[in-house]
Structure 1
Amino acid sequence: MIAKLWPLLIGFTIWAVAFVALYAMQALGCTWAWQPSWHRLILVATMLATMAALSGMLVLQLRRAKLAPSTIERAGVTLTATTLPITLVMFAPVTFLSLCN
């Protein structure tokens, strides 16, 4: 059953793991007093890696949906595509807000 639902779950699963990782890096950087430039670089790299992972998964899902179109495949593509703008909105503040204040 779960194997058939992975297209619906994978995009937001990747996003959720990345969200936790991003804010864990935020907390660790503040706790361990990382240099601000290094801290921001790690956070931006995490954001870009998340965007790359989600984009790669979207490409794979698009290919799979073309080979075997089904409602679940199409819905999975839509849900994964939805995670890209959500990632930008939720993760973008790490590029310009103060890190530890």
Structure 2
Amino acid sequence: MRAVLGDTVIAEAPEGDLISIEGNWYFPPASVDQQFLTTSPTPYTCPWKGECQYFTVNVDGQAYPDRAWSYPTPYPTAFDRVGKDFSNYVAFWKDVRVVE
């Protein structure tokens, strides 16, 4: 699976390494090319996953605010709900397509 913005691959990993949560694919941290992400100041705390970290995706000189996010330290109860530890896994939204 790949997370792609335009022709740029931002993350790539076998589907078996990804985690699906609420309809979003979460990529393992090592599979994400961090050169395309910068930390966003947007605050959000999910009631069951915990504090979220948003990222701006930067591709070809264009900034796409809050198009990626992760949960650096999810609530321990979230691991039971998801079935595994998803700390720092990264999901994408809107302009970033997840494709096979």
| Structure 1 and Structure 2 fold alike (TM over 0.5) | no
TM-score, normalising length from structure 1? 0.25
Higher relative contact order by CA 8 Å / sep ≥ 6: 1 or 2? 1
TM-score, structure 2 normalization: 0.25
Structure 1 or 2: more helix by fraction: 1
Structure holding more strand per residue: 2
Task: Report the structure number with the largest CA radius of gyration.
Answer: 1
